[in-house]
């Protein structure tokens, strides 16, 4: 699966997602893009966005979502706080619904 890590997440998270092509917003040259534009450009090249923005489902129209969005719901965006979510994240990625918001929480 082709994934995009949002710029709010640590780049080292990609090391914990073997078997997937994981890009970052920075490496794609999309730093600073607002969510709507980011989703649109990412949809042309990737399958899903992984982020930590718990408000995104309220800011974007789920009916017109151009790709799947996985929201990591952790106390902070530090890698040590995200790592406990990785097993559940991997499971979600194995059966990710198309163009849906999916929340991964402890």
pLDDT value at 8 more than 90: yes
pLDDT value at 62 more than 90: no
- The stretch 60-74 carries a mean pLDDT of 93
pLDDT value at 75 more than 90: yes
- The stretch 86-101 carries a mean pLDDT of 96
On average, the pLDDT of the chain sits at 95
Contact 42, 67 (CB under 8 A): yes
Tally of helices (H runs) and strands (E runs) in the chain:
5, 5
Which of 71-98 are b and which e, b meaning 16 or more Cβ less than 10 Å from the residue's Cβ?
bbebeeeebeebeebeeebeebbeebee
């Amino acid at each position: 699966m082709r994934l995009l890590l949002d710029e709010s997440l640590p780049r080292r998270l990609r090391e914990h997602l073997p078997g997937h092509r994981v890009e970052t917003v920075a490496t794609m040259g999309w730093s600073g893009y607002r969510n709507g534009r980011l989703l649109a450009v990412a949809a042309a090249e990737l399958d899903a966005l992984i982020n930590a923005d718990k408000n995104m489902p309220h800011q974007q129209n789920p009916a017109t979502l151009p790709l799947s969005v996985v929201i990591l719901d952790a106390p902070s965006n530090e890698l040590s706080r995200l790592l406990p979510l990785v097993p559940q994240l991997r499971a979600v990625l194995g059966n990710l619904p198309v163009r849906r918001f999916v929340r991964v929480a402890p």
